[in-house]
Amino acid sequence: MKRFILFGIFALLMITGAVGQSLQGKTMYISTKTAQIKSSTGFFAGTRGTLQYGDQVTVLREQGAWAEVRSVSRTPISGWMKSAGLTARRITSGGSSTSASASELALAGKGFNEEVEKSYQDGKGLDYSLIDQMETQTVSEDELYTFLMEGHLLTGE
């Protein structure tokens, strides 16, 4: 009986340690097309720089859903980004003669493959020009902040 209780406590401690494992000090990689590195934890915090898909970073510390990171590049950038934009898997090319852009890699990560692309291309009479046009539109953080303030929509961070 004592063995069973000790084993249960040991298993519980191991599970708790695995779940609460920190990213601090770990090498991670950017898993989004681009990642803005902020001066603090908040969507409207100042931007210190932008990292690209696959860029390597070191996690300095965590705060909720945010991670303070330092890029591993010729011109290092330090600041905060959402932890969800990081992956522990090293992102490398397959070494083939063809290469994929960051945009193509991001689409592939969402399940957009050759078969899905072909089904879109076979769509007779479908006009995607408006979608292409929408994808080129951008809204600055200042414009977004003004919109939220004027509409009394700003809550949280």
Q: What is the pLDDT of residues 104-157, one digit of tens each?
A: 666 666 666 677 777 776 766 667 778 788 888 888 888 988 998 888 887 655
Least-confidence region, from 11-20, 27-36, 71-80: 11-20
Question: Which amino acid is it at 6?
Answer: L
Would you tell me how many other CB atoms lie within 10 Å of the CB of residue 54?
Answer: 15
Write out the two tokens for 97: 């003669």
pLDDT tens string 62-91: 999 999 999 998 788 999 999 999 998 887
pLDDT at 58: 94
Q: What is the DSSP string of the chain?
A: -HHHHHHHHHHHHHHHHHHT---TT-EEEE-SSEEEEESSSSTTSPEEEEEETT-EEEEEEEETTEEEEEE-SSS--EEEEEGGGEESS-----SSS----HHHHHHHHTT--HHHHHHHHT-TT---HHHHHHHH----HHHHHHHHHHTT-----
pLDDT at 141: 85
Whether pLDDT at 101 is above 60:
yes
- Domain locations in the chain? 23-91, 100-135
As assigned by CATH, the class of the 23-91 domain is: mainly beta
**How far are the Cα atoms of 111, 121, 129 from residue 133, in angstroms, in the given order?**
22, 18, 6
Q: What pTM was estimated for this model as a whole?
A: 0.58
Q: How confident is the model at residue 28 (pLDDT cuts 50, 70, 90)?
A: very high
Tell me how far the alpha carbon of residue 31 is from its chain's centroid. Answer: 5
Least-confidence region, from 4-8, 10-14, 109-113: 10-14
Q: Are 40 and 33 in contact (CB under 8 A)?
A: no
